[in-house]
Chain A
Amino acid sequence: MFQQFLVVAGLSSATYMLTALGFTLIFGIMRVVNFAHGEFLLIGAYTVFVAQHVLGLDYMIALPLAALVAGGFGILAERLLFRRFTGDEIGGMIVALALAITIKGAVTVIWGVDSQPIDRPFSGSFEIAGVFIPRDQLFAAVVALVMVVVTWWLLNHTRLGLAMRAVAQSPEVARLQGIAPWKTYPVAFAIGCALAGLAGALAAPIYGAEPNMGDAALMKAFIVVVLGGLGSIPGALIAAVLLASIEAGISILFNATIAALVSFLAVIVVLLVKPAGIMGRS
């Protein structure tokens, strides 16, 4: 049973990290709470569906395409909407909620509420030390982890990453150093949305693509970033492992709904002790 726990916790940690990373990156740099983050997952998943069933592309080509399409929509959203609400937290949140129901509504109007089939690139499972590991979930987790590492490297070892971190700390000081925040914002937003699109494309073959698939992912991302501290990337990574472990443990012992309730209680407890989150700055 313990091996089972490790496998479930490990696989879901990776996907939680990927979803929460994009969300917390956008918040950290732009101070925007992207309530439409789950809908960018949706865009990724439906891109895979269209690529496979309309364009006849292979899943391995559809996967990066999904990230690109979601990133493109991200740039559009930043340019047309979020830029207007810089510094207006409540206005930004309302417009993000509006964008979320618009995207979900558009997907429902075009493809209906039914789950769309996605061809699986991998099937079956293999056994290590008495535990069955599904191949498709392992693939999703590995790609997610690789992308988390790539994003980490991008932020910490490139000039672009340096510029983004500078804008996150202080837009005014960054401008004095010749970094234009309004050029950095769309890049950050695009990366965050592309990560979400990728997460959606990775989840699609496992769970199918349907209009409400973003909701659960958004919930997890919220819990992870509140636990870890909004805007803190190390916090998000630690909290993703924490949440995945709590959920895996309780799902095995009881069931998934109790696990969701306990993860909410964990958020309350962490806030009681440290209101800014595990790695957050108040």
Chain B
Amino acid sequence: MRIVNIVLTILIVGLALSPFLIGERFTWHIAILIGIKALLALSLHLMLRIGQLSLAQAGFMGMGAYASALLTRDVGVPFLLGLGAAIAIPALIAWVIGAVILKVRGVHFALLTFVMGEAIVLVFVEFVFPFGGNNGLMSIPTASIFGMTLRSRESFYILVLAVVALSLLVLRIMLHGQSGHILRGLDSNEPLVQSLGIDALAWRRFVFAASAGIAGASGSLYAHYLSYISPEAFNITTTINALVMNVVGGVGAVVGPIVGAIILVPLPELFRTAIAWQQFLYGLSLILLMVFLPRGLVGLLRRLK
């Protein structure tokens, strides 16, 4: 099990650095997209770790994207502050609304977050000021740090890598040690956690907020990379794609969603002609994976070991 982890880590680090060796424009583009999508998949992964399926993650990503885009473009806030707001705003909203919707668990929670995700997109569509309605927001400024504009894809990729690495670090801290035990307890035996005098609802709100923050960061990077956002990019399909990444990679380990993103993000970019088949094949492969390989590729590797 240890060896598999080490091999996987080396493989992923190698892949993460490979664009520097290849150096092609298209490779940079794919690598940046993988990083952004992996962040969203990680945010979903965190909720899955406490046994809850949150279908509002793309909505949180949208909140981050719009917050960061509006603050930098219209208010003139520096990019790093915009990114901070893109993390803080969804996290705060998740924390507040979590007091209500985290009282329910399991299927109720999944249904509620589904409705919530759709409601968030509706807000972007309905309130033309400031969200631009169905047209979305255009000419979002390029990311810049301390006066250094990240205009090239290489420099933006380094930023994406840094954010992914930071998120992985946060997840690692949360999932290990004492808080790791509590989080596992929330998944497997909540009454036990409660009986130890731990406020389970407060912990679940904290995890929900952290997960929304990571999704928000993904949204901010997405907005500043494409310099254009529109509401339909943040609907339920985006959340389901992040879920597919988790299932493909495996929900048992943090590397799972990363592996899933590395495998799944390049596919639609490579097969643009078969766009009509894409959702069908995504769905079919998800069904087959759930039936024949429920623990994902990482789970398979560990079993082989």
Binding site for B on A (CB under 8 A): 27, 31, 33, 81, 84-85, 89-91, 93-95, 97-106, 108-109, 112, 215, 219, 222-223, 225-226, 230, 257-258, 260-261, 264, 267-268, 271-272, 275
Contact = CB atoms under 8 A, between A and B. Distances in A.
Secondary structure at chain B's binding surface: helix, strand, loop or mixed? helix
A105 B281 contact: yes
Interface string B56-83: 0000000000000000000000000000
B274 to A, nearest CB: 10
A94 B53 CA distance: 9
A222 B114 contact: yes
B286 A219 contact: no
Given A93-B53, A260-B119, A261-B119, A33 B107 contact: yes
B110 interface: yes
B146 interface: no
Contact of A95 (B97, B125, B290): B290
Interface stretch (B18-26, B31-39, B98-106, B159-167): B98-106
B287 A102 contact: yes
A99 to B, nearest CB: 7
B100 A268 contact: yes
Which one of B53, B104, B290 has the highest number of Cβ atoms from chain A below 10 Å of its Cβ?
Answer: B290
A168 to B, nearest CB: 15
Nearest to B247: A94
19 contacts: A90-B51, A95-B287, A97-B240, A98-B287, A101-B240, A102-B280, A102-B284, A102-B286, A103-B283, A104-B279, A105-B281, A109-B276, A109-B277, A112-B276, A230-B111, A260-B119, A264-B115, A271-B112, A272-B100
B122 interface: yes
Contacts of B277: 105, 109
B172 interface: no
A223 B258 CA distance: 33
Which one of B104, B123, B279 has the highest number of Cβ atoms from chain A below 10 Å of its Cβ?
Answer: B279
Given A90-B53, A219-B115, A261 B110 contact: no
Contact of A271 (B101, B118, B276, B280): B101
Contacts of A94: 53, 243, 247, 286, 290
A260 B126 CA distance: 11
B293 interface: no
B48 A90 contact: yes
Contact of A219 (B118, B123, B126): B118
Contacts of A33: 107, 110-111
A259 to B, nearest CB: 10
Contacts of A219: 114-115, 118
Interface string B269-303: 00000001111111110110011001000000000
B116 interface: yes
Contacts of B278: 105
Interface in B88-103: 97, 100-101, 103
A257 B100 contact: no
A268 B101 contact: yes
Contacts of B181: none
Given A108-B280, A222-B114, A257-B125, A101 B104 contact: no
A221 B236 CA distance: 16
Given A93-B110, A268-B100, A99 B287 contact: yes
Contacts of A99: 283, 287
B116 A264 contact: yes
Nearest to A221: B111
Contacts of B279: 101, 104-105, 108
3 smallest CB-CB distances across A and B, nearest first, come from A105-B280, A102-B283, A101-B283
Contacts of A106: 280
B115 A222 contact: yes
Contact of B283 (A90, A91, A105, A261): A105
B108 interface: yes
A133 B236 CA distance: 35
A87 B237 CA distance: 26
A93 B112 CA distance: 13
A147 B104 CA distance: 32
Contacts of A268: 97, 100-101
A260 B104 CA distance: 22
Nearest to B106: A89
A98 B283 contact: yes
A13 B247 CA distance: 38
Contact of A100 (B53, B108, B122, B283): B283
A160 to B, nearest CB: 25
Interface string B192-216: 0000000000000000000000000
